[in-house]
């Protein structure tokens, strides 16, 4: 946990005054248990909010000027909230400015100005939705202070819009949805084509979620993320010539073993095969979780990683070395990459009695393979974005 005594000292140095008018908000990180790279293909995904995340300390201002700072990025960015143009600067403040811009676009032109100060125990650029947490914390705080009247689901959509259209990352809605709509001790089965969702009790018995960071930094906008999206759009267009009613690439999954009849490009065949089979794995994982079949759930995690490695090609040396170390580590019944890939994190299911041995063996083998040292986060499944009223 962050040292909140130090956080308060830093905030009051940055924004002097009484603590009485300071509001505190929390947005969790998220882990996608299974269903990777299919949120933008109309697929089913199974994210869960974590108990680690991002806190926003906020003091409202009356001069129309907002200032943004964080423990990780201490330099202060300043903006006039009534004159934000659709012009990303390529820095941390883009996420908050994007939220202001999205509110204005939807008619809320008088969102409150404030001093923002963020502190997080999420690793940056690691695939745990640190950016979505910043977006939802900002949107929820402005909605609360300004009495703007948006529902949490509205804020989810608005935050995705901010990242797509202002920040410039063409993400799906899963990250923002999980951060906004999370429920303690429950995974979420989300249909990304229509936002229908179901909370799935995540009673994992003696197994715990262990998030492991490769500590290989990545940036979504610099990765092959947008390239994969384009490949999927191309494959969909070609399949629609054979299946005119097909709207999303996850449909007609029964054709996955015979895609070469409809697609003449080996790369597009592999991309489509991943999308279709991953969607089926999410359905199978839902049944396994509902029936508390954790060993079966773990096997599906392994199969998901293999598909992401071989068909979708978004893993890379570090993620593969980390997952393979986990597959052979004590107490682990399943592990896979989570997030966009090309670095970032893995999620594993590990018996609670073996966590120390698991971490020791994985660290040793991963360091031997890559020269990097992983970071481990043992987390429960927590609530979505909210105001923090208890003392921090």
Catalytic residue positions?
A: 175
Beta-carbon contacts of residue 214 (< 8 Å; ≥ 6 apart): 126, 318, 319, 322, 343, 344, 345, 346, 366, 370, 372, 374
Cβ burial, residue 70 (10 Å; 0-12/13-18/19+) = buried
* Residue 112 per-residue DSSP state: P
CB 271 within 8 A of CB 233: no
- How many Å apart are CA 12 and CA 27, to the nearest integer? 21
List C-alpha distances in Å: 180 to 24, 32, 111, 130, 151.
16, 14, 20, 13, 10
Distance CA 361, CA 322 (A): 11
Q: Is 21 helix (H, G, I), strand (E, B) or coil?
A: coil
H helix or E strand, kind and range, residue 277: helix 266-290
Q: Which among 221, 135, 177 is positioned nearest to 143, based on CA atoms?
A: 135
Helix (H) or strand (E) holding 69: strand 65-70
């Amino acid at each position: 946990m962050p040292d909140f005594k130090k956080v308060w000292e830093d905030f009051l140095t940055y924004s002097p005054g009484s603590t009485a008018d300071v509001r505190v908000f929390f947005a969790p990180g998220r882990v996608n248990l299974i269903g990777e790279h299919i949120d933008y293909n109309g697929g089913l995904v199974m994210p869960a909010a974590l108990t680690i995340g991002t806190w926003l300390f906020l003091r409202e201002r009356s001069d129309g000027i907002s200032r943004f700072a964080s423990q990780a990025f201490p330099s202060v960015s300043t903006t006039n909230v009534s004159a934000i143009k659709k012009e990303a600067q390529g820095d941390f403040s883009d996420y908050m400015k994007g939220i202001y811009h999205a509110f204005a676009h939807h008619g809320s032109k008088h969102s409150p100005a404030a001093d923002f100060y963020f502190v997080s125990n999420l690793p940056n650029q690691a695939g745990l939705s640190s950016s979505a947490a910043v977006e939802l914390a900002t949107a929820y705080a402005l909605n609360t202070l300004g009495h703007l009247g948006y529902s949490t689901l509205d804020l989810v959509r608005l935050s995705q819009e901010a990242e797509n259209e202002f920040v410039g990352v063409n993400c799906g809605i899963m990250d923002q949805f999980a951060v906004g709509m999370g429920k303690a001790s429950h995974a979420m089965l989300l249909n990304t084509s229509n936002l229908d969702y179901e909370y799935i009790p995540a009673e994992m018995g003696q197994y715990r979620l262990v998030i492991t960071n490769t500590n290989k930094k990545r940036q979504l906008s610099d990765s092959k993320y947008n390239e994969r999206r384009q490949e999927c759009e191309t494959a969909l267009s070609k399949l629609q010539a054979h299946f005119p009613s097909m709207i999303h690439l996850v449909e007609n999954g029964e054709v996955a073993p015979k895609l070469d009849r409809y697609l003449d490009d080996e790369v597009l065949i592999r991309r489509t095969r991943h999308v279709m089979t991953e969607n089926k794995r999410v359905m199978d994982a839902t049944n396994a979780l509902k029936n508390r079949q954790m060993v079966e759930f773990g096997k599906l995690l392994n199969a998901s990683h293999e598909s992401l490695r071989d068909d979708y090609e978004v893993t890379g040396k570090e993620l593969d070395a980390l997952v393979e170390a986990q597959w052979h580590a004590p107490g682990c019944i399943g592990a896979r990459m989570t997030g966009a890939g090309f670095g970032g994190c893995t999620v594993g299911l590990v018996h609670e009695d073996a966590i120390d041995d698991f971490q020791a063996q994985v660290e040793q083998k991963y360091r031997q393979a890559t020269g990097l040292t992983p970071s481990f986060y043992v987390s429960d499944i927590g609530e979505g974005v909210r105001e923090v009223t208890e003392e921090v």
